[in-house]
Structure formats: structure tokens, C-alpha cells
Amino acid sequence: MRSTRYVKCIAVVVLPLLAACGGPPKEAAPEAGAAGLTEYGDWRPWAPRPENAALLTVEREGARTPEGALVVRGNGNRAVLGGWERTVEGIEPGHWYRLSLLYRYEGLTLHTRQVVCRLDWAKGDGKRAGQPEYAWREEPEGEWTRLTAEAPAPEDAAAVRIQLLLWDAPDGRVWFDDVKLEPIPAPEPRPVRVVSVNYRPQETGSAEESVRRFIELVDREVRDKVDIILLPEGITVVGTGKKYADVAERVPGPTTERLGELARRHNAYVAAGIYERDGPALYNTAVLIGRDGKLAGKYHKVYIPREETEGGISPGSAYPVFETDFGKVGMMICWDAQYADPARGLALGGAELILVPIWGGNETLMKARAIENQVYLVTSGYDFPTRVYTPDGNIVAEAAKDGEVIRATVDLNRRWVDPWLGDMRGRFHRELRLDVPVMPR
């Protein structure tokens, strides 16, 4: 918790920072020649080499503020990497700042990579301090998109360069407007108490009995306050000796109703894998039950291995992300971890925590999914370890024996920063290539 004294200091500092960063002076937008503008107020051109330079202009028509929008054009340059830069002095080391701006574009193939907005921290001597911070959180505002970054200034920072750039887009044009930099309080921790179950019932004879044993275990072992309880894949078939079609049911249905009762008793979300029947189709489904006992969402396993295909399972076709009262949650199931796109799709959809009911699989790939997407990942398995992974791939909890329940508290507001590379979650969102064809030509 930040002290009241610190918050009062922020209120004093905000006004000069907003004056410095709120946009160009209130004057008529200048006319640009064929070579574009070389400055506008405190904004200056930036490019790593002259050959990378973009064409810079200012436009009032269609802008969101009276001062006009800062415009960056690729101007037919296939090597373009350039745009506007502005230096703000008086940065307080260790204090948090928010960069906020609006942008819109045309002629881009992948705007999340080609529009680069970042805070490049600087020491008193002008040399770089720490690593640049990329703005990556996006929210639509009509025809514009609000782009933000929130980060603490490095301990040796005295200034920051705000950069609004266009990259690898010769036919692109980007309008930037309403650019603000302001100090903010440090975010409070956002702890989530996670429980995951390592249990494999034997010779139950029915889906109802298998589910009953899972519920009995949770009721017996979980007496403390938790936020989410994860059960394994296929809890309605494991130990029964039956086929998928024998145990498949509608969702919502009898099993989600029983899991709902469990969720209400523990005032926790519950996630588990079951088999779903929807008309002629059978799905390997992960369900998410809310604290109120109601179905909060479901996911159909996208990657179906040969063994399930031969059992008549149909594949899903989407990676949904669900809002909970503690953050955004995604689910994937077992064989999904063998491929990169399920976890990637969930992370791009905003998932901060991925729940994985699993039968068995590749432990190295599971660790990679947490690292490459910078998300927390929780597994509950039979022939796969029941674990909690952090975004850097470390295991903070693991169940060593059957019938064991593990607990971990994860902080969804914690930043995972590489000292040489910076905040990898922001870089993941802004550097990921989705525009390069992967299918054989």
C-alpha cells in the first residue's frame, strides 16, 4: 500500500508532466513539404538510420484534440522504422508512470507489430536506463484505439524519451493523438489462491461415482479460503471403464450441477474436464464454474489426438477467455499443450492464468507455454504432474503423490522482467509475428 504522503506528491507532479506531454502547442498545424516536418513543438523525428526515416506531418482534420494528430507515413520506404520522439525530464526513479495515447492507422498488415510506442528511459547523461517499456494494452475508442503502458522508472532514470514509431510498413500511415504521460500509484498486488488436484479414482464403474470421489477429496482436503480449484481432464470417464459416448452429457448438465454445489460450498471457481454431447457431436470439454455455482464458461479441446479421434471426439474451433472477479482465465486441455497456438491464442485474448486439465504430455513443452506467453499456468493430471508454473517457467507447487492437493498463491500484478530484455509480456504482444504465412506454398 502506498502512503498518503506519496499520493499527495503525485498530485503535485501530475500538472507539469501533463503540460509537457499533453500534445504540441495550441497553434495551427504547420504545412509539411514533400520531405515532411523536422519538428513540432517539443517533438522531433527519430530513426536509427537516415535510410529508415518516415515522413512526418501533423493533421487537424479528424484529430481528437485541437492541436492535431502526429502522423507517421511509410512513404514507400520498405526499410521504414521511424517516427516522433519527445524527451520528458524530471522522472522520479522507482516511481510508476502511465503512457496513454490514441492511434488509428491504414495500410498495415499487423498493427500490433508495426505500430511501436514505447518509453525509453534515460539517465542524467542521456544514456539508456534499464530497458524500454512497450505500450501493449489496447482498448477501442470508436475509430481510434487507446494504447497504454504502465511501468516503474528504473532506479537510475532521470528522463524518458516517448517514441511513436512506424515499422516495416512502407504503405502504412498512423495517426497519434492525445499523448499523455502521468505518474500513478504503484499497483497493489493481485493475489489469486489456486488449488489443483492430483487424483486418479480406480474402478468406479460410473461417471457419477468418479465425480463423487473428486468432490469428496476436495471437501476433505480444502478447508481454507481459495479462489479457484482445478480438477483433471475427463473426470467423468477416468476409472469407469466406459467409452466417451457412454459418459457424454449436455453442458450445463448433471456434472456441472454437482460441481456448482462444490463451488458454492467453497466460494471458489471450479474448473474440470468432462465429455460433452451436443447433438451428434462429442467434445472433450473444460468447464468453468463460478463461485455462485453457475456455468461461467466452457472450452472445447481444439487439438484432438488420434486416440480421441478414433473414439468419435470432435475438435473445437476457438480459444475463449473468461472474466472472473480476480482476472482473466483461459483453459486448454492435454494435447493442446503439444502445439503453440492454444496458449498463444489465450494470451493474446488477455488470459493471465491458464488452467490445464491433462491426462499426460510433454513437461518441457508445458513449461515453454508459460515462458513464451508470459502467463501463469496450472495443471491437474493423471500421467502428468500436477503443478503451478510461473511466467518464467519455474514450478512453485507440485503434487508428488496420488490424492494430494496443492496450493499456491500467484500475484497477477507481478511484473516478470528480464534484466537484459525488459518486460517480456509487453514484448510478446508487440513483437509476435502473425503475418508470416506458415502453410506450404
- The radius of gyration computed from the CA coordinates of the chain, to the nearest angstrom, equals 26
Average pLDDT score over residue span 271-287: 98
Q: In the prediction, which pLDDT does 1 show?
A: 35
Q: Letter for the amino acid at 312? A: G
What confidence category does residue 400 fall into, taking pLDDT thresholds of 50, 70 and 90? confident
Spatial distance between the Cα atoms of 309 and 320, rounded to a whole number of angstroms: 22
Give pLDDT, residue 439: 79
Domain range annotation of the chain: 4-187, 191-414
Q: How far apart are CA 128 and CA 179, in angstroms?
A: 22
Q: By the 8 A CB rule, do 260 and 291 touch?
A: no
pLDDT tens digit string along 316-369? 999 999 999 999 999 999 999 999 999 999 999 999 999 999 999 999 999 999
Region 238-265: mean pLDDT is: 98
Per-residue pLDDT averaged across 38-55, rounded? 96
* 369 φ/ψ angles, rounded to the nearest 5 degrees: -65, -35
Q: What is the pLDDT of residue 37?
A: 83
Percent pLDDT > 70 in the chain is: 92
Is the separation of the CB atoms in 153 and 95 below 8 Å? yes
Are 272 and 301 in contact by the 8 Å Cβ rule? The answer is: no
Residue 118 has pLDDT above 70, yes or no: yes
Report whether pLDDT(3) > 50: no
- pLDDT tens readout for residues 229-249: 999 999 999 999 999 999 999
Distance CA 364, CA 385 (A): 12
Residue 205: CB partners within 8 Å, gap ≥ 6? 240, 241
- Residues 256 and 295: beta-carbon distance below 8 Å: yes
191-414 fold: Nitrilase/N-carbamoyl-D-aminoacid amidohydrolase (3.60.110)
User: How much helix, strand and coil, in percent to the nearest 5, is found in the chain?
Assistant: 20, 35, 45
Element (H, E) at 427: helix 424-431
Mean pLDDT, residues 47-59 taken together: 97
CATH code of domain 4-187: 2.60.120.260
Q: Name beta bridge partners: 329.
A: 322, 353
Calculate helix-pair angle for 254-266, 207-221, nearest 10 degrees.
Answer: 10
- Check residue 208 and give its pLDDT: 98
Summarize pLDDT for 286-308 with one digit per residue, the tens. 999 999 999 999 999 999 999 99
Q: For the whole model, what pTM was predicted?
A: 0.90
Whether 26 shows a pLDDT value over 50: the answer reads: no
Query: E strands along 260-352, which residues?
Result: 269-278, 281-289, 295-300, 321-323, 328-331
Residues belonging to the chain: 441
Measure the CA–CA gap between 251 and 260, rounded to whole angstroms: 12
Q: Is 363 helix (H, G, I), strand (E, B) or coil?
A: helix
Nearest to 227 by CA among 188, 263, 187: 263
User: Is it the case that residue 313 has pLDDT exceeding 60?
Assistant: yes
The predicted pLDDT at position 438 comes to 85
Strands 228-230 and 269-278: parallel
**Cβ neighbours around 239 below 10 Å, total:** 21
- Give the DSSP H or E segment for 149: strand 144-152
User: Would you state the pLDDT for residue 297?
Assistant: 97
Average the pLDDT over each of 217-221, 354-358, 362-366, 415-419 and give the range with the smallest value.
415-419
Residue 409 clears pLDDT 60, i.e. is over it: yes
Phi and psi of 70, rounded to 5°? -80, 125
pLDDT of 274 higher than 90:
yes
Q: Lowest mean pLDDT of 13-27, 247-261, 393-407, 408-422, name the range.
A: 13-27
The mean of the pLDDT values for the chain is 92
Q: What is the pLDDT of residue 32?
A: 52
What element of type H or E holds 395?
Answer: strand 395-398
Structure-block grid coordinates of residue 90: 524530471
The percentage of the chain sitting over the pLDDT mark of 90, rounded to a whole number, equals: 89
The pLDDT confidence band at residue 25, using thresholds 50, 70 and 90, is: very low
Q: Where are the alpha helices (DSSP H) in 73-206?
A: 111-114
User: How much is the pLDDT for 265?
Assistant: 98
Q: Which of 42, 96, 107 is nearest to 72 (CA)?
A: 107
Question: Between 112 and 22, where is the model more confident?
Answer: 112
Q: How confident is the model at residue 148 (pLDDT cuts 50, 70, 90)?
A: very high
Upstream peptide bond of 252 is cis (omega within 30 degrees of 0) = yes
Residues ≥6 apart with Cβ < 8 Å to 309: none
Read off the pLDDT band of 10 (50, 70, 90): very low
Instruction: Assess whether pLDDT exceeds 60 at residue 29.
Output: no
**Fold identical between 4-187 and 191-414?**
no
Q: What's the confidence (pLDDT) of residue 30?
A: 56
